Amino acid sequence: MSPSALRRPLLVRTRDDLQRELSVLRGTGGALALVPTMGSLHEGHLSLMDRARDLADLSVASVFVNPLQFGPGEDLERYPRRLERDFELAAQRGIDLVFAPDPEIMYPDGPPQVRVEPGLLGERLCGRFRPGHFQGVLAVVVKLFGLVRPDVAVFGRKDFQQTVLIRRAVHDLELGVEIEVAPLVRASDGLAMSSRNVHLTPPERREAVGIFRGLIAGQEAFRKGERSGPSIVESFSAVVSGYPAVRLQYAEIVDPETLEPEEEVSEASVLAVAAHCGDVRLIDNIVLGAEEPDPRISHSR
Ligand code: PAF
């Protein structure tokens, strides 16, 4: 019988409690999966938890709104926080342990002095608009790996650039954690699930779907034989321009590992985008050659 079937999942908020419960869990044996999150869980996160349980015998989720990855003027203060609900949802998904530290517990000596430098990968795409963001992400992810010592960690594909950086950090620093990237989960109209979607007003929420429709237009252009990166981006932008509430920050087609912009694209190329809708920043991406769209979704306005 799996440990999850034997015990009620636990919520721990301190390092000592985390270590105590981890050693109890580890005593039951088996591989351990970690799902790092910033909470306010949605179907996307829950699918990461399902994946974690498929991959490992023991599962830990973290819920921590990491101040280091928010720049000045970004939405740290208003980032949604719903710990009780998150814990219930994680428990329903069979997670064994939820670690939800306060910032003073995560960073007892203040922000860490020694950081992982994301390098060029962190300067591309979102990195151009969010200086320091990926350094903050890597700081907390490496710390969580050190605290939890998972065999595998599961991240969502929506944060495409983040997953590329985390894989690269694990490779470059020999962190010894397997990184699993789970598929992006979309609402029934195609909008990528994000904790920030709760801040969209109803009209903004209706318009936000333009991002997905633009991505589908880009993918369709590729399917019809277009191989020029800029032309595919144009197909994307033409659709998005029909949704005035969506203000594009960038749309680029990049190599899936180096994140270098591509003039000439291939099946593996990724069309990655960021846009503001009202004051909510949304990101999304699509692999040009991948099976993506839900056939129930209408692509026209
Ligand atoms: O993807 C997120 O929610 C965050 O960037 C992560 C990986 C939990 C680090 O804070």
Nearest CA, atom 1, ligand 1: 37
Domain 3-182, CATH: 3.40.50.620
Residue ID of nearest Cα to ligand 1 atom 5: 137
Out of 69, 82, 130, 138, mutate this one to test ligand 1's pocket (max ligand atoms within 8 Å of CB): namely 69
Residue nearest to atom 8 of ligand 1 (CA): 37
| pLDDT per residue rounded down to tens, the chain (301 residues) | 444 445 567 999 999 999 999 999 999 999 999 999 999 999 999 999 999 999 999 999 999 999 999 999 999 999 999 999 999 999 999 999 999 999 999 999 999 999 999 999 999 999 999 999 999 999 999 999 999 999 999 999 999 999 999 999 999 999 999 999 999 999 999 999 999 999 999 999 999 999 999 999 999 999 999 999 999 999 999 999 999 999 999 999 999 999 999 999 999 999 999 999 999 999 999 999 998 655 444 444 4
66 within ligand 1 shell (Cβ under 6 A): yes
Q: Ligand 1 atom closest to Cα of 144? A: 9
Domain spans in the chain, listed from the N-terminal domain onward: 3-182, 195-287
Q: What's the CATH class of domain 195-287? A: alpha beta
Q: Which residues are tagged catalytic?
A: 45
The closest alpha carbon to 127, from 247, 255, 259, belongs to 259
Test site for ligand 1: of 37, 147, 154, 161, most ligand atoms within 8 A of the Cβ: 37
Q: Does the beta carbon of 137 lie inside 6 Å of ligand 1? A: yes
Q: Is the CB of 36 under 6 A from ligand 1?
A: yes
Q: Indicate whether this model's pTM tops 0.85.
A: yes
Please tell me the distance between residue 38's alpha carbon and the centre of ligand 1 in angstroms. Answer: 6
